């Protein structure tokens, strides 16, 4: 999504070495940074969905900060300019390549449920049926303890060179002085007009005069600026144990429902039971990354409660059994779609927050890939949904169980590298576009609805469901921040938003780049399809037009969707050269930049 900050009105280009981070209020009619989806050069690179955030990250790199510093500063800025997708009211997964020690680390900053959460939290006690998604989402029931701010603190403390407080300052200035509203920002508010209208704090910020702000108007968020500055002065304790924590709990337990909502809402707005003790007791996790080998490369991803690393790794292992460069494009895409369906079947059956490590290891093993790949028929698509494999068996014997795919959409992603070779791949979210629709009064940020990523009721028949709610449990995620090494050094880093389609977006970009001979910008821009073990493949219109006839002949059917994902990536070449790439069009287009452009 494009965000044109008035703070950067005089900036000529994101790749110029003279980008100045001076977020002063300026006329919304002034010049804005152009949309640059691809930039090549040296000295560090940043790719995000927003030019303001990219410019903030580049400025940190130019001033001597490292990739972690730049990633945190950019992420904080996205909390201002991308407030419906990310922010301190949510969580995420942070993957870091430490160039000095040539090691990949991860931070699990996923939101966790309250200590009092039960398996039937999303079942209506009046009739024993699960709540409609909209009812569950726009409620206090859906809010998990946010992990984003703790992630920023841990990342900067472990690997950064700047204080968290200093890295919050650029975002606070953008929030205070404003940025120009674009069509995507306005549309996201319009799409949430009814839920936003239910809460005084939300409609005051995002529905001025009862309507979404006009394109070109300047949007300011002084409450968020003050919250950032309070955290900068007093530390994250104010968020997890102090006055901000008290305001979060009050909002969840007593939603700030308007006396006169400007739009009807079909559901009661239910309070939740998030408590001060839940915020005070929140802890990050630092799991080992998932690892799989693919055509001589080493692919690192995020382990549970994310399913991304496991699902991407399993699909790659299945695909590796076919030389995709030697088959037709139709056959290569057939293999991609079938591998995705098989990995999603296994993900839904086995992967959740508490999946034992031996099970995860089995799913991402070459032996398991052989068991699953043998089911693919080059001449005919499998009937979907395919059953998961039997983790206790050998050969092609499938288990008998179904599976559900969650479809949360509101996420953002950023990719950063510095001149020393450190790399950050970071996906962060508040789940649905607009989160649970509640702005914390006086604090300026939306709360997440992450707990709706749990399955509301069992989905696996007589088999255990790994993704049911539970006390302090973290819901399964599809976020797939990925770092690929070649001979122990970075080759490619990428990630995307898009709910469950994140997995297929990352997988398809990898296949495009590694197997199908595309450059990174071509791999990013190519039309996408997402097979998540459903009867029909979700696909962009351009994909259907180009590949639908051939794949249809193999039995694939398609459901058109406007777009899939909004990826960011950096590729690493010889001599320190980097190619930063963002979306040229999806979600309004992204912004890539380098410290020193290619001459």
Q: Which of 411, 429, 459, 504 is catalytic?
A: 411
Identify the pLDDT of residue 284. 98
- Cβ-in-10-Å burial (0-12, 13-18, 19+) of 281 comes to middle
505 an active-site residue?
no
SS3 411: strand
Identify the pLDDT of residue 399. 64
Task: Find the Cα–Cα–Cα–Cα dihedral 140, 134, 468, 245, rounded to 10°.
Answer: -20
Q: What are phi and psi of 182, to 5 degrees?
A: -110, 180
Measure the CA–CA gap between 322 and 328, rounded to whole angstroms: 12
Find all residues with CB under 8 Å of 487, minimum gap 6, and list them.
Answer: none
Identify the pLDDT of residue 288. 97
CB 50 within 8 A of CB 2: yes
How do residues 260-312 score in pLDDT, each as one tens digit? 998 899 999 999 999 999 999 999 999 999 999 999 999 999 999 999 999 99
Find all residues with CB under 8 Å of 469, minimum gap 6, and list them.
Answer: 113, 117, 118, 119, 120, 121, 122, 451, 454, 475
CB 540 within 8 A of CB 503: no
Identify the pLDDT of residue 404. 53
Q: What are phi and psi of 98, to 5 degrees?
A: -90, 105
Measure the CA–CA gap between 82 and 74, rounded to whole angstroms: 11
* List of the chain residues with pLDDT < 50: 1-32, 406-408
Identify the pLDDT of residue 401. 55
Identify the pLDDT of residue 403. 52
Identify the pLDDT of residue 397. 72
Identify the pLDDT of residue 499. 85
Beta strands in 110-186 (DSSP E): 179-180
DSSP assignment of 31-64 equals ------SEEEEEEEEEEES-HHHHHHHHHHHHTT
């Amino acid at each position: 999504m494009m965000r044109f900050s008035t703070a950067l009105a005089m900036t000529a280009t994101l790749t110029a070495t003279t980008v100045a981070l001076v977020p002063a209020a300026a006329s919304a009619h002034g010049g804005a940074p152009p949309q640059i989806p691809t930039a090549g050069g040296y000295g560090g690179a940043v790719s995000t969905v927003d030019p303001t955030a990219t410019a903030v990250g580049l400025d940190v790199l130019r001033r001597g900060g490292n990739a972690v510093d730049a990633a945190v500063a950019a992420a904080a800025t996205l909390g201002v300019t991308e407030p419906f997708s990310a922010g301190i009211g949510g969580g995420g997964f942070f993957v870091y390549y430490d160039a000095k020690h040539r090691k990949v680390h991860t931070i699990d900053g996923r939101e966790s449920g309250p200590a009092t959460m039960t398996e039937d939290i999303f079942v209506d006690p009046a009739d024993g049926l699960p709540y409609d998604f909209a009812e569950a989402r726009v409620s206090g029931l859906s809010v998990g303890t946010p992990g984003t701010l703790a992630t920023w603190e841990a990342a900067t403390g472990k690997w950064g060179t700047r204080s968290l407080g200093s890295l919050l300052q650029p975002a606070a200035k953008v929030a205070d002085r404003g940025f120009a509203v674009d069509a995507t920002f306005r549309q996201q508010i319009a799409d949430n007009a009814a839920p936003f209208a239910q809460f005084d704090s939300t409609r005051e910020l995002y529905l001025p005069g009862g309507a979404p702000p006009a394109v070109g108007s300047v949007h300011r968020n002084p409450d968020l600026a003050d919250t950032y500055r309070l955290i900068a002065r007093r530390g994250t304790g104010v968020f997890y144990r102090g006055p901000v924590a008290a305001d979060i709990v009050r909002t969840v337990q007593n939603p700030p429902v308007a006396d006169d909502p400007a739009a009807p809402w079909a559901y009661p707005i239910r309070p939740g039971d998030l408590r001060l003790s839940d915020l005070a007791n929140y802890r990050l996790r630092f799991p080992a990354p998932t690892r799989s080998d693919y055509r001589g490369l080493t692919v690192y991803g995020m382990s549970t409660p994310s399913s991304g690393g496991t699902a991407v790794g399993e699909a790659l292992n299945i695909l590796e059994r076919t030389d995709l460069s030697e088959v037709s494009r139709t056959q290569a895409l057939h293999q991609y779609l079938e591998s995705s369906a098989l990995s999603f079947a296994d993900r839904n059956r086995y992967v959740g927050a508490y999946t034992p490590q031996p099970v995860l290891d089995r799913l991402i093993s070459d032996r398991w890939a052989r068991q699953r790949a043998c089911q693919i028929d080059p001449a005919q698509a499998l009937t979907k949904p395919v059953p998961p494999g039997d983790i206790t068996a050998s050969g092609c014997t499938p288990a008998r169980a179904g599976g559900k795919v969650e479809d949360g959409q509101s996420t953002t992603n950023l990719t950063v590298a510095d001149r020393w070779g450190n790399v950050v791949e970071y996906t962060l979210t508040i789940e649905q576009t607009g989160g649970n629709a509640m702005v914390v009064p006086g604090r300026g940020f939306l709360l997440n609805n992450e707990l709706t990523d749990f399955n509301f009721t069992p989905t696996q028949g007589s088999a255990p469901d790994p993704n049911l709610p539970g006390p302090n449990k973290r819901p399964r995620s599809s976020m797939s921040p990925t770092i690929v090494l070649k001979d122990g050094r970075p080759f490619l880093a990428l990630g995307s938003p898009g709910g469950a389609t994140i997995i297929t977006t990352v997988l398809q970009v990898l296949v495009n780049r590694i197997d199908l001979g595309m450059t990174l910008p071509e791999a990013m821009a190519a039309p996408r399809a997402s097979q998540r073990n459903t009867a029909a493949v979700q696909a962009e219109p351009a994909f259907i037009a180009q590949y639908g006839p051939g794949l249809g002949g193999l039995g694939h059917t398609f459901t058109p969707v406007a777009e899939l994902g909004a990826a960011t990536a950096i590729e690493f070449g010889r001599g320190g050269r980097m190619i930063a790439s963002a979306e040229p069009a999806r979600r309004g287009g992204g912004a890539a930049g380098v410290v020193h452009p290619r001459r």
